[in-house]
């Protein structure tokens, strides 16, 4: 009867809400999920579970682990020496550039890997979480960057901060003020520190410049403009991330002050000593002296930068199996398929990940 059906819904609703709250408790790390995005999926699971999702879900998890363990954690060894109080006054220009770029790429692969794992784990249960990370370092401007980086946080700030403040409905001056307030709130979202406030303020400033540039020079096509926009955006993001990572404004200021120096001077003895003691090459059989560490440093940095800028992301690759993210992701020439070759590749990758699990290294967003 209708009354019994209503009673059944009433009894089940608290359990559904509890499942929604417990399904993905890491709010800051994301994806920040609205109940309307997943609760209807909970009801559909009991009706039909898609076993074909197991293979792409497993691929996402393995690729995400590889990004975190094999790439991000090694990039951390390159970045960390520049973000300590001992580094003040010690860094050469090349040290500063490597530390800045290494942390930008570390955070990129760490968070990208985390998002892949999160979506893969949800997909194991037949749940499709919203896409939260879409190759942001390929963005051609800072506006596009925020449409690709922590996309659910961007949507949250837009819906609950920017629009309630008036959005762009009250003129350009008010829009600029609303953007700046929104980005400052976004900085405080990550932590109550002046470094996060400054990071948010810098991105607010970048957005204001970006909007002003588009007003004076309307968007146009062209390979030169697109490439230049990508380079400028990447450097702006990297500079802002210096304060995101630095334990104090003083450390961040000294690292940025070292950037304009002479790159031909090479690495400083301080930085060579730090990375020489950090890297261990027993597994690969490579040299562990300072020269070998420096060469490996530059090689790893260039490879990571090339992958971030040119390669398709894991979601684009796995989505070739029509797992439910169509319309959000661009097409990729590299397609995942549950065949022998992909199985061997993923098994080898997982083996390398397991061999590399020699230290505790939490996801960066879990630290905020």
- Mean pLDDT for each consecutive 10-residue tract of the chain (368 residues)? 40 70 64 78 70 88 93 89 90 93 95 91 86 90 92 89 87 90 92 90 94 77 78 95 93 94 85 70 47 74 91 83 64 79 93 82 65
Q: Which of 190, 211, 214, 254 is catalytic?
A: 190
Structure tokens at 315: 């979601």
pLDDT digits (tens, 9 = 90+) for 141-171: 999 999 999 888 898 899 899 999 988 888 8
- Give a three-class secondary structure readout of 171-226: CHHHHHHHHHHHHHHHHHHHCCCHHHHHHHHHHHHHHHHHHHHHHHCCCCCCHHHH
* CA 228 to centroid of chain Cα atoms: 22
Q: Going by C-beta distance under 8 Å and a sequence separation of 6 or more, which residues neighbour residue 171? A: none
* DSSP SS3 for 94: helix
Look up 190 and say whether it is catalytic: yes
Sign of the torsion formed by the C-alpha atoms of 197, 199, 200 and 203: positive
Which residue is listed with tokens 């700046």?
A: 180
pLDDT in tens, 81-130: 999 999 888 999 999 999 999 999 999 999 999 999 989 988 888 888 88
Distance in angstroms (rounded) separating the CA atoms of residues 53 and 10: 31
CA separation for the pair 59, 344 (Å, rounded): 11
pTM: 0.86
Residue found under tokens 């120096």: 261
CA dist., res. 368 & res. 226, Å (int):
34
Percent with pLDDT over 70 in the chain: 82
CA quadruple 239, 243, 247, 249: dihedral, nearest 10: 110
Closest CA to 135 of 344, 354, 319, 298: 319
Length of the chain: 368
CA distances to 19, 73, 137, 207, 263 from 97, rounded to whole Å, are: 45, 18, 17, 24, 9
DSSP state at residue 247: S
| Distances, alpha carbon 156 to alpha carbons 34, 151, 165, in Å | 10, 9, 13
């Amino acid at each position: 009867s209708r009354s019994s059906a209503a009673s059944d819904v009433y009894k089940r609703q608290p359990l559904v809400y509890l499942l929604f709250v417990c399904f993905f408790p890491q709010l800051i790390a994301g994806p920040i999920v609205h109940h309307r995005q997943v609760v209807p999926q909970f009801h559909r699971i009991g009706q039909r579970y898609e076993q074909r999702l197991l293979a792409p879900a497993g691929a996402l998890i393995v690729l995400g682990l590889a990004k975190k363990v094999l790439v991000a954690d090694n990039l951390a060894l390159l970045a960390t020496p520049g973000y300590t109080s001992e580094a003040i006054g010690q860094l050469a220009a090349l040290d500063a550039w490597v530390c800045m770029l290494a942390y930008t790429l570390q955070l990129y692969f760490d968070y990208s890997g985390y998002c892949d794992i999160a979506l893969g784990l949800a997909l194991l249960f037949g749940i499709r979480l919203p896409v939260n990370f879409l190759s942001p370092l390929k963005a051609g401007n800072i506006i596009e960057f925020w449409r690709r980086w922590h996309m659910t946080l961007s949507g949250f700030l837009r819906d609950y901060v920017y629009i309630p403040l008036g959005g762009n409905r009250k003129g350009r001056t008010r829009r600029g003020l609303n953007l700046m307030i929104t980005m400052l709130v976004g900085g405080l979202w990550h932590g109550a520190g002046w470094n996060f406030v400054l990071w948010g303020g810098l991105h607010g400033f970048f957005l204001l410049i970006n909007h002003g540039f588009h007003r004076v020079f309307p968007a146009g096509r062209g390979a030169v403009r697109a490439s230049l926009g990508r380079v400028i955006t990447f450097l702006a993001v990297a500079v802002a991330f210096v304060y995101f990572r630095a334990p104090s404004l003083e450390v961040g200021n000294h690292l940025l002050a070292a950037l304009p120096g002479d790159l031909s001077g090479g690495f400083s003895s301080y930085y060579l000593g730090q990375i020489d003691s950090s890297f261990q090459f027993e597994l690969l059989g490579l040299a562990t002296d300072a020269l070998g560490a420096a060469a490996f440093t530059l090689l790893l940095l260039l490879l990571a930068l090339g992958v971030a800028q040119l390669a398709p992301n894991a979601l684009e690759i796995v989505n070739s199996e029509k797992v439910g993210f169509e319309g959000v992701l661009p097409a990729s020439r590299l397609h995942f398929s549950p065949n022998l070759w992909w199985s061997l590749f993923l098994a080898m990758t997982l083996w390398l990940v397991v061999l590399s699990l020699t230290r505790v290294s939490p996801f960066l967003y879990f630290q905020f």
